[in-house]
Amino acid sequence: MPRRSRAAHRAAATGLIVLLGLVSSAADWKTAEPGWKFEFPRDHHAHREFKTEWWYFTGNVFDAEGHRFGYELTFFRQGITPQAARAPKSSRFIVDDLKFAHFALTDVSKQTFRFEQKTSRGAFGEAGFDDGQRLAWIDNWTLSANGDDAFDLIGSSKASTIHLHLRATKPPIVHGENGISVKSVAGGNASHYYSIPRLQTTGEFVADGKSHPFRGESWFDHEWASGQLGPGQVGWDWICLQWEDGTELMLYQMRLENRQPDASSSGTWIAENGEATHLRSADFHMTPIAFWKSKANGAQYPIGWRVTLPGQKAEFVVRAAVEDQELALGPITYWEGAIDASGTREGKALKGRGYLELTGYAGPLRELNR
């Protein structure tokens, strides 16, 4: 299929998911409320009483020659029919949710970035959630549980395929307070959100007909909600970092129409022993210092940041490993890519790697959260 036709097909498929996902309103679904008691491995599985859910993996890995690659593989569930309104199925084409997934691979050495999207109704079992060890899948893209603390991933594009085995070296970390991650000061916009912030990663990827064994580290986010963006919000800036000293950091800024961060923005500092410290919006400061302009849509993304955390006595700079890491997917276009960070903490050098996600710059995301 010609490149332009493929792009148009992807945009149309994504638009269909958005439109169908809006058949029901967030009020028809269960909302994220204080008091949720996380249990594992139970909460690795789907939460169909909520409208939106994603399983999100990113990582930085190295081949035997030391070449670095970044990857993203994310599975999304978008609810169509709330549980209370579900009736016995008269046709396999009547489904309760839609499935889509994104796969991206960054070759830092070659400064290249490739991405793919899959969408499916799953009417014939070609996509779904919770089937034995499989937590989520679309065609041959698969997320499987391998015991209580390990996962297997398969993702592919026309140019490359990855097979990953990930083993948690830290326990799951719950973000927010009292079981919820608040996304808006207006109230009513929140999610249940946890991460496994460091997973030892091994596997191989096949690119251009050549197999490359690799190893490195990954980050896993799992989040479910029924509407996260509040009034006046257009998107978010999200960072995850794995520091060389064994600590980790997650930060997100919910961004308002005036480009200022919502006061509900927050994060988590994770000590080497796994102890988590909740960070409120006043506990950190993120200032953009470098930008990249998309040739696809003209969006200008802040791909470099200066970040300060007074309570941790930390100050550092984040920079993109490759400037162009934009997933140009029509209605939900966003920038998602591998990053490097360096600075100081308590007067000592601090270095790390991670991922940066920037949404709402190619258009507001509020229509995805009604």
CATH of the domain at 144: 2.40.370.10
How many domains does one find in the chain?
Answer: 1
pLDDT at 83: 65
Find the largest Cα–Cα distance for the chain: 65
pLDDT for 1 equals 30
Place of tokens 């719950």: 174
Tens of pLDDT along the chain (370 residues) come to: 333 334 434 443 444 344 333 444 556 889 999 999 999 999 999 999 999 999 999 999 999 999 999 999 999 999 987 765 555 654 556 678 899 999 999 999 999 999 999 999 888 899 999 998 999 999 999 999 998 899 999 999 887 889 999 999 999 999 999 999 999 887 778 999 999 999 999 999 887 778 889 999 999 999 999 976 888 899 999 999 999 999 999 999 999 999 899 999 999 999 999 999 999 999 999 999 999 999 999 999 999 999 999 999 999 999 999 999 999 987 789 999 999 999 999 999 999 999 999 999 998 765 444 3
pLDDT at 367: 44
What domain range is 274 assigned to? Answer: 3-369
Q: Render pLDDT for 58-98 as a digit per residue (tens, 0 to 9).
A: 999 999 999 999 999 999 999 987 765 555 654 556 678 89
